[in-house]
Amino acid sequence: MTDLVALKAANADRWARAKLTRSFSSGAKRLVAPGAKARYQAVTARTGVPWFFVAVAHEREASQNWNTQLGQGDPLGSVSVHVPKGRGPFKTWEDGAYDALVNCAPFAARNHDWSIGGTLTMLERYNGLGYAARGKPSPYIWSGTDQYVSGKYVRDGVYDARVVDQQPGCAGLLLSMMEFDPTITFVGTTIPARKPSLTPKPPPPVPSIAAPAQGSIGAFFVALFKSLFGRK
């Protein structure tokens, strides 16, 4: 089983070091265009999933074709035959996107970690964790950056180390989108640090005749009395 915490850390580290090896500008401009962004934001309003996550998934799955299902790129008006299978048909692209994010694994609408590591890992989970299981960077995420060289699942369960993925990777798309839309930010979940639970010290005893305050005249006479009469 893939360690998702480790994968998030690995993806965040790759992001910090990544450099583009080809241009993503054309696709990035389309994804952040006002009309497209408005449609992605409408899905965000229904699901809570950041609009830019929806945008890059749409590009990767269907080259931003609005007549397809977000989940796998199958035709919007037909029942899907690729994973996730059996979805649809849908009347609108937004309805298909809602279904993919809310009702289909890995259920992005339930995610609360939208840090860069969390975002990229959620995108990778939609494509599958076969690359992570091999210790390889996923081309779904890193194609078109210096974090990826070669290797691709050419069909279900068949990995070819020689094949180079030619599609734009999600990380490269995001890097380019941020150049045109600086409102894109990544916010992770943080758990407030718990303050240490301190056991309160018991209050000092109240001075009395039998137990006067230390250093007081009463304490002097008690000590004198004990020394004269041998009381301890």
Mean residue pLDDT across the chain: 88
- Tell me the pLDDT tens digit for each residue of 79-100: 999 999 999 999 999 999 999 9
- The residue with greater pLDDT, 198 or 83, is 83
Cβ atoms of 61 and 73 closer than 8 Å: yes
Per mean pLDDT, which range of 66-75, 106-115, 194-203 is the poorest?
A: 194-203
Determine the pLDDT at residue 182: 95
Give me the percent of the chain exceeding a pLDDT of 90.
78
- In angstroms and rounded to an integer, the radius of gyration of the C-alpha atoms of the chain is 31
196 vs 192, 193, 199, 200, CA distance in Å? Answer: 12, 9, 10, 12
Q: Which pLDDT band holds residue 216 (cuts at 50, 70, 90)?
A: low
Helix (H, G, I), strand (E, B) or coil at 124: helix
In the predicted structure, residue 110 carries a pLDDT above the cut 50? yes
Give the span between the Cα atoms of 2 and 6, in whole angstroms: 8
130 vs 3, 147, 156, 214, 224, CA distance in Å? Answer: 12, 17, 10, 73, 85
Q: What does the pLDDT average to over 209-217?
A: 58
Determine the pLDDT at residue 1: 84
Give the span between the Cα atoms of 53 and 117, in whole angstroms: 13
Q: Which pLDDT band holds residue 162 (cuts at 50, 70, 90)?
A: very high
- The residue with greater pLDDT, 90 or 220, is 90
Of 89, 79, 83, nearest to 71 by C-alpha is: 83
Question: Can you give 156-176 as a three-state secondary structure string?
Answer: CCEEECCCCCCCCCHHHHHHH
Determine the pLDDT at residue 195: 36
In the predicted structure, residue 193 carries a pLDDT above the cut 90? no
Q: Which pLDDT band holds residue 156 (cuts at 50, 70, 90)?
A: confident
- Tell me the pLDDT tens digit for each residue of 114-131: 999 999 999 999 999 999
- Tell me the pLDDT tens digit for each residue of 49-77: 999 999 999 999 999 999 999 999 999 99
Q: Which pLDDT band holds residue 221 (cuts at 50, 70, 90)?
A: low
